Amino acid sequence: MAKINENYSKLPGNYLFSEIARRIQAYRAAHPEADIIRLGIGDVTQPLAPAVVDALHRAVTEMGQAETFRGYGPEQGYDFLIEKIIENDYKPLGVQLDMDEVFISDGAKCDTGNIQEIFSQDSIIAVTDPVYPVYVDSNVMAGRTGVLGADGRYERIVYLPCTEANSLKPELPEVPVDLIYLCFPNNPTGMTLKKDELKVWVDYARANQAIILFDAAYEAFIQEPDIPHSIYEVEGAKEVAIEFRSYSKTAGFTGTRCAYTVVPKTVMAYDSDGKSHSLNKLWLRRQTTKFNGVSYPIQVAAAAIYTPEGQAQIKSVIDYYMTNARIIREGLTQAGFKVYGGVNAPYIWLKTPDNLSSWEFFDKLLSEVQVVGTPGAGFGPSGEGYFRLTAFGSRENTERAMERIKSLKL
Ligand code: MLT
């Protein structure tokens, strides 16, 4: 008899964004005429940069000609893209990386979800709360978390609450942990850590033989000069941190799919005899076994963002989204909401009015002004009473959404 992985039964019914999509669909079925503005899932709306589109066309033409056709590529990515990443994304920060420390993939979601496979089953994981749900759900599926309690917490996960009391910045865990997921600029709160604040985590990991899984998917949205773009800007981080980056939001690749993960060869973890092992080797083994690389045209397209035209074009789209973020922040503040984030990140985190729960506020926005956001409770128990809006909408929809929210009867 085939038996299921019963860890899946420990998950909440639907993945957060699937649940939101389900509710929108139900509302649309009941109100087919509704003009719904979606600022829920952080999905980009502006088209690919012309430099990217040109590169894609060229690469597709190459694939159609016998002399330039390519079959399987290297699982960890083509050198032409890895070289550009090291030169453009890390060298200017003073971070040196070797070619075999960068792994191209089809998404930071997949990589942050899959990375847990190379760690022991009994690892204790720590997550900020609220948190991007993939880190938690992937560990639940792997059987590492125990069951979900009535308080919305899994019994074996260590939660690091990010609340107004600590200015939405996590504090070190009070019990020993092995793996720490950090995402900065943060999804969902839009908050950032300065270098000295990040150093506290690197020092903790070094002192406790823990590993930091650092999701930097939103680093390109940082506007202020004193915010680190990479955890490797902190001394010692190359001993204890794996970093995830993505072209999804940086270059509009949510539907195109390309990202990369940095696993320095100096990052070690231990077997049950206490012998150290390079995580770079384990991740290489995992990727070469289970992943066949990102397609050649897509990697060529990603490399095109590093040309001078590509850089200028993606920067102008990022500026566009960050102007949306400012419009949302200012609009909500004028309407009397308490808001966080949106300065160095494309997400705005707001406190729900009148002590409404996150899902009550979701339903109110959808039914009264047809605006969709993401309920904070979907990101963890400390997200209850908060709500997230994304700056990735079109300018027109962002402005219309703000007008509608200002008209809400509270
Ligand atoms: C979000 O809305 O949090 C993101 O779109 C999720 C993702 O990038 O997978």
Q: Which amino acid is at 27?
A: Y
In this prediction, residue 134 carries a pLDDT of 97
> Does residue 160 sit in the same domain as residue 293?
yes
Token duo for residue 257: 């799919």
Cβ atoms 357, 7 nearer than 8 A:
no
Nearest protein Cα to ligand 1, atom 3: 42
Q: For residue 310, which amino acid is it?
A: G
The list of the chain residues with pLDDT below 50 reads none
**257 shares a domain with 367:** no
Q: How many domains does the chain have?
A: 2
End-to-end CA distance of the chain: 55
Quick one: 31 and 146 in the same domain? no
pLDDT at residue number 201: 98
What confidence score (pLDDT) does residue 17 get? 87
**Closest-lying ligand 1 atom to the alpha carbon of residue 188:** 3
CA 18 to centroid of ligand 1, rounded, Å? 11
Same domain flag for 211 and 78: yes
Distance 370 CA to ligand 1 centre (A): 21
The C-alpha atoms of residue 40 and residue 69 are separated, in whole angstroms, by 40
Instruction: Supply the pLDDT for residue 12.
Output: 85
Which contacts of 191-195 are long-range, i.e. CB under 8 A and separated by 24 or more positions? Answer: 191/162, 191/167, 191/340, 191/341, 191/345, 191/349, 192/222, 192/224, 192/227, 192/343, 192/344, 192/345, 193/169, 193/227, 193/228, 194/226, 194/227, 194/228, 195/226, 195/228, 195/233, 195/234
The response to whether residue 335 sits with its C-beta less than 6 Å from ligand 1 reads: no
Model's pTM, two decimal places?
0.97
Answer for the pair 44, 324: CB distance below 8 angstroms, yes or no. no
Binding site membership of 41 for ligand 1 (Cβ less than 6 Å):
yes
The verdict on residue 273 lying in a domain is yes
Q: Are residues 121 and 258 in the same domain?
A: yes
Q: Is the CB of 130 under 6 A from ligand 1?
A: no
335 lies in the same domain as 321: yes
| Same domain for 127 and 273 | yes
Angle at 187 between CA 410 and CA 367, to 5 degrees: 30
Q: Do 157 and 27 lie in a common domain?
A: no
List the CATH number of the domain containing 124.
3.40.640.10
Count of C-beta atoms within a 10 Å radius of residue 367: 12
Based on the domain organization, do 39 and 126 belong to the same domain? no
Does residue 311 sit in helix, strand or coil?
helix
Give the Å distance between the CA of 42 and the centre of ligand 1.
5
Looking at ligand 1, which atom is closest to the CA of residue 248? 8
Q: Ligand 1 atom 1: the closest Cα is on which residue?
A: 42
Q: Which of 265, 289, 307 is the last residue of a domain?
A: 307
- pLDDT for 283 equals 98
Domain termination site, one of 281, 307, 333: 307
Which pLDDT score, from 0 to 100, does residue 199 have?
Answer: 98
- Which helix (DSSP H) or strand (DSSP E) does residue 235 occupy? none
Choose one of 290, 307, 324: the last residue of a domain: 307
Task: Judge if 348 and 290 occupy the same domain.
Answer: no
Q: Is residue 184 part of a domain?
A: yes
Distance 198 CA to ligand 1 centre (A): 23
**Separate counts of helices (H) and strands (E) for the chain:** 13, 15
| Residue 299 falls inside a structural domain | yes
Cα–Cα distances in Å, from 50 out to 309, 311, 394? 9, 11, 18
Q: How high is the pLDDT of residue 39?
A: 96
Q: Domain containing 318: what range?
A: 11-47+309-406
Task: Please check whether residues 366 and 283 belong to one and the same domain.
Answer: no
Q: How far is the CA of 139 from the centre of ligand 1 (A)?
A: 18
Residue 1 lies in a domain: no
Provide, for the chain, the percentages of residues in helix, strand and coil under a 3-state DSSP scheme, each rounded to the nearest 5. Answer: 45, 15, 40
